[in-house]
Amino acid sequence: MISFGMQLEDILFQQDNAPVHKAYNVMDWLERHSIEVVDHPPYSPDLNPIEHAWVELKKRLHQQYPRIADTPGGKETVKKRLAQVLPLVWETIPEELFEKLWKSMPDRVAAVLEARGGYTRY
């Protein structure tokens, strides 16, 4: 797990306000672990660095396992295969990408404020 030397109490959690992310079980777990949730408007991909990490994960998945969707055995077999390989693919993403993403947050916030909350290409 990438921690950048942070303690659990130093973590601020940011989410995109999708209903599944705000489910009672999720919010209860975050509260029980004293993780502060940062509010921001829904549909603000500029303020959600994980979206960029998902893009990188998907790119690497397609590079490393280009025919995974063709895995014999149907959807359930493909899902099981994805469950096996996604953690391996995730581990190939360099820590520098995550550091770059979290360090870019002040500039992202400034860009959204400058655009008066509108979508901006960062």
Distance (Å, rounded) from C-alpha 27 to C-alpha 3? 21
pTM of the model: 0.60
Residue 57: its pLDDT value, please? 96
C-alpha distances (whole Å) from 63 to each of 50, 86, 111 are 20, 12, 32
For residue 46, count CB atoms less than 10 angstroms from its CB and return exposed for 0-12, middle for 13-18, buried for 19 or more: buried
Q: Where are the domains of the chain?
A: 53-95
The model's pLDDT over 42-79, given as tens digits with 9 standing for 90+, comes to 556 667 788 889 999 999 999 999 999 999 999 999 99
pLDDT at 10: 72
Question: Using 50, 70 and 90 to split pLDDT, how confident is the model at 2?
Answer: very low
Per DSSP, the residues of 19-73 read GGGG-HHHHHHHHHTTPEEEP--SS-GGG-THHHHHHHHHHHHHHH-TTGGG-TT
Rounded to an integer, what distance in angstroms lies between the CA atom of residue 100 and that of residue 72? 38
